[in-house]
Every structure is written in structure tokens, then in C-alpha cells.
Chains A and B, each alone.
Chain A
């Protein structure tokens, strides 16, 4: 089983307002097709860890490997490219560009990557929306759809460049149980059927129990 993401001896400090050791010697791996959840109490550093792993936060010590390649110390331009190509994000608050249509939101990362033609991107985006049963929303403005729908659009956007891994920061955080279940099933399906790796931060125990592996954090350490 190949490793998608590997963290070695990750340490991170917050320097303001006082020096604070947030992440203490984090080591773990995510394999291909694995559905991993990170649990822990508020303030234990699980979100901070996710942002370090996401390459958006570069202020840490240690080494980070994606597809067995060291990506620590890469330039910001290169990291942007890596995020674009290999990492899909789903956040707690449905971050869509509110002035663009649903379809445009999904297409944007693929347009940035610029490998496929416009027609191919449009076709793929429609396909992703269809997979998530929201193709009827394609032409709507992103600000005009409901919360559950927004989260599914965000998932479609995360999938558009066929990334190696999807990261989520409490993606069901403010969805009702119906939508929450819906989103979980989508994740489960992606993991099982398409062999996609998932790394989801959550504090919902029921959710975590149904994933392949739970990483529990306390006071900046992985305890098991």
C-alpha cells in the first residue's frame, strides 16, 4: 500500500501573544484509499496540524512528504501548484466565490491548472456535479443555494483536479444530520470506489467511528 502523505517530526510554535508549543513531534502516514479522521478537544492543535499538512501554513519544523516527495521548503509558487493539483479542500464554512455560478466555482481550480481545454473542464465539472446529485444547480449563483448544497459544491470543487488527497476541516460542522449523513456517504463512496485518501478533522465521535482510522490528539501530541 503506497503512502500518500507523511509527516515526520512536525513541531510548530505560536509566537504571539506568548511563545506556545502547539504541535509536538507529530509523526504519521496516510495511505492510498485510506479514510482517516483526526479527533481531539478544541485547542488541541488538530486544525493547526491540518493547515500545516495543507501546505498553506509553512511556519513549522520537521518534514512533510506528499507522494513520497519532500515538500517542506518548497517555494510558495510551487506549493500553490501542489495545492492546486494534489490537494482538495472542504472547509467548515462553505467557502464558495459568491459572485460566481456553481459551475464556475467548480471549474476554477481546473482552469488555474490549465491542463484540459475549456470544454473538457466544463464536461468534467458537470460530471462531478452529477455524481453529487446537484447538476440542477449548475447555473445558479453560489450565494443563492442552501448550506448542504454549498458543501456538496465545495466537495465537487475539491475533486475537480482528481487530487491525491482530500482534506476537510470539520466539513459537517454546521450541517444538519440529514446533510451531514449525505456528505459522509459521499466521502465514504469516494474512498471505497475511487481509492481517494481522505483526512478529515472532526469532533463528531459517531462520524469518526465510521472512518478507517482515527487519530486522536491531545495538547499538541498524537496519543494513539
Chain B
């Protein structure tokens, strides 16, 4: 039978009479865990920000009509040359339309799929911005603006005006910030747009767009689907791209393959398009965890050391306890519970320290052109980190306490009592 009350009260007395050593051991854990929490929150916060930079506005699957040469040239179909060696010079891409055939039924079909969060139509058009006699080349993308804001965080990148303003204006345009600066335009002004075919349309600026990537901001503008269709003189079913966002990003690859087969379109999944991001994220995580675990192991050795010393100092006490009827296991539990108390107190203080430092980092200004929505350093306050932190504190103090307490268990009281 184990009498926890007695064991804990002895452990408590030992810890309190050696409060200096106890606090140093606990501080070791506190700094270890605090550093781990701070590091991992900050690093994953940065990771998340970097990933968002690309992934947030990237569709999980991008479907479009690729302009490419036919894979099978006509001569290969012709039976008479079947057994001969054919050389075709100067192959040209196949003449095909840019629009996706039957786009609206396809979008409808995709939206019915349970794995799909949203499938959004887009129209990409080459245009010129006209400022007096100067023509600036650019891209105008026709979008379903409210859905884009919902699924691809478009709102974060509209630094002036709002998606609703565009939705409510048939002749509205959200202009890239680079274009706006070059032409000294602002919200409320009008900009002339010329299509490749030469038609000129005046559009009202209802918002300004900043992606953070200058090359994009210098050319890109957004308008409503219907507006772009009208500018291009196309019908209401003219759609050039479909962007798909899934519930589970891991399904992107199989899904894109399926779409390619089913609809004879080109479908690129996000992992293929941004493979290097996965690698960067996992390596940064690896570094974070290596450093944190090193810190915790160092803290563990501190506890081991201090408990070892404590047991040497308490040899007499151990002998008395054993002589008066405490078993080896009781003595071991006394020292184990000391280690665990140090672990729990140090760990909880470490969590608080980590939370405090993370909160502090969260308030440090961090302004970057790339992410207009971010004003301070990004910190990830994931409760899992705190759970992992306290668990690791308990595990490391358990092992740090186990070895010395095992020694205390084996001490022979007769040797100590006779030794004096």
C-alpha cells in the first residue's frame, strides 16, 4: 500500500528546505519549456505567413486550356505511313479556343462534389491601360468577386475599397497598385481599358489591389465576370480558367488527374506548382524542434544533477526512513515525486513564460509590402504546442528523477547506520 499523503509531505519538506536548489532546477525547466514555446510559436507563425503568402491565393487545382502542339501529329494517324519513319519539321501549337468548352456545366458539376469547397470561374484577358498617349500592357481578370474573397482571401489584398464595391458596380475595376501609381489614379477615378482588338472602355476604379509582388501589381487588375465578357465581346459562357479549392489539400493530385481525364483539360495541382514550399516548411520545423529538444535535454540534466546531490545529502534520512518501515519503493517515490513536482511547476511557469514572450513578439511591429494585412510579427498560438511542452517537461523530469531515485531505492540502511 502506498501512502501518498506521507510521501508527498516528505517530498514537500525536502523541496521547501532546499528552496534555492529547487528553484534553480525548476528554472532550468522553465527556461527550456519557455524557449521551446516561444521558438515554436514564432517559427510556425512565420512558416504559416510564408505559406499563406503563396498558398492562400493559389487554387488547389487550376484548370485551363493549355495552348500546346498536338501530341499525335496527323501523319501518325494515316495508315499508309504506319511502318515508316516520319520526321515533322516546325510543329506549331494546335489551334484551339482559349475558353473552356462547357465551362458552366463543369463548374456546376465540380461544386456538387463533396470534396470541393468551391470551384470558381475566371476570365483572363490581355489588355492595355491607356493614359493619354501611353499604353501600359496588363492583365484583366474577370472574377466572381464575392466568392474570390470568400475562398481565396482576396479581401486581404484589396488595400482600398472592398469586394462589395466591385460587385455593386457594373463598370468597376480593382486596379493593381503599381498601375495606379504609374498613372496617378485613385479610387473614384476612371481608367481607359483597351482590348487587343482595339475596343476602348472606360472603367471606374472602385478598389486598389496589392499582392506584395511588384511584377504582379504592375499589371494585374480585377473586374466582374460579366464586365470582362462584355469588354471582350464574348457570350456569358466564356470562361478561360476554373480555380478549385478543396476541403483536403492532399486530394489535389488525384483530383487534378481525374479532371484532366474526364474533361480533356489541363489541371495543375498546388503541390506540383509549389513543391519547394513543402520542403522549406519541413526543414524549418526540423530546426525548431532540434533546438527545442536540445534545450529540454539540458534542463533534464540540471534536474538529474540536483537530485543526485540531494540524495547524497539525504543518505541519513533515507536510512532512517527505511529503518522505520518505509520500503525502498516509498523512498523512490519520495524522490520521484520531488522530480515531478519540479517538472510540473517548472513546466507550467515555462508555459507562462512562453506565452508572455510570444505575446510580446506578437506586438513587435513588422510591416512588409508583401503582406498588407500583417502589422506585427506573426505568432502561432496553437494549444498543441503547450500540450507538447508540458508533456515533454514531465517526461524529461521523469527520466531525470528516475535514475537518482533508483539509487535511493537501493541504498542499504545498515551500511549507512553502521558507517557512522
Contacts and interface: CB of A to CB of B under 8 A. Distances in A.
A111 B325 contact: no
A131 to B, nearest CB: 19
Contacts of B418: 47, 51
Instruction: Tell which of A80, A89, A93, A99 has the most Cβ of chain B within 10 Å.
Output: A80
Q: Taking each of B324, B328, B329, which has the highest tally of chain A beta carbons within 10 Å of its own beta carbon? A: B324
A217 B10 CA distance: 40
B329 A77 contact: yes
Interface residues of A, number: 31
A96 interface: yes
A114 B1 contact: yes
B317 A80 contact: no
Nearest to A95: B320
A84 interface: yes
A78 to B, nearest CB: 9
Interface residues of B, number: 28
Contact of B324 (A51, A77, A89, A98): A89
A51 B6 contact: no
Do most interface residues of chain B lie in helix, strand or loop, or is the interface mixed? helix
A92 B323 CA distance: 14
A87 to B, nearest CB: 8
B315 to A, nearest CB: 11
A156 to B, nearest CB: 12
Contacts of B323: 54, 56, 83, 89, 91, 95
Interface in A83-134: 83-85, 89, 91-93, 95-100, 108-109, 111-114
Interface string A125-146: 0000000000000000000000
A93 B420 contact: yes
A83 B17 CA distance: 28
B14 A111 contact: no
Interface in B298-319: 316-317, 319
A119 to B, nearest CB: 14
A81 interface: yes
B75 interface: no
Given A97-B317, A97-B320, A109 B325 contact: yes
Nearest to A81: B325
Given A80-B328, A95-B316, 10 more contacts: A56-B414, A80-B327, A81-B325, A85-B325, A95-B319, A95-B323, A108-B6, A109-B324, A111-B9, A112-B324
Interface of A: 47, 51, 54, 56-57, 76-77, 80-81, 83-85, 89, 91-93, 95-100, 108-109, 111-114, 157, 161, 169
Q: Which 3 A-B pairs have the closest CB atoms?
A: A84-B325, A80-B327, A111-B6
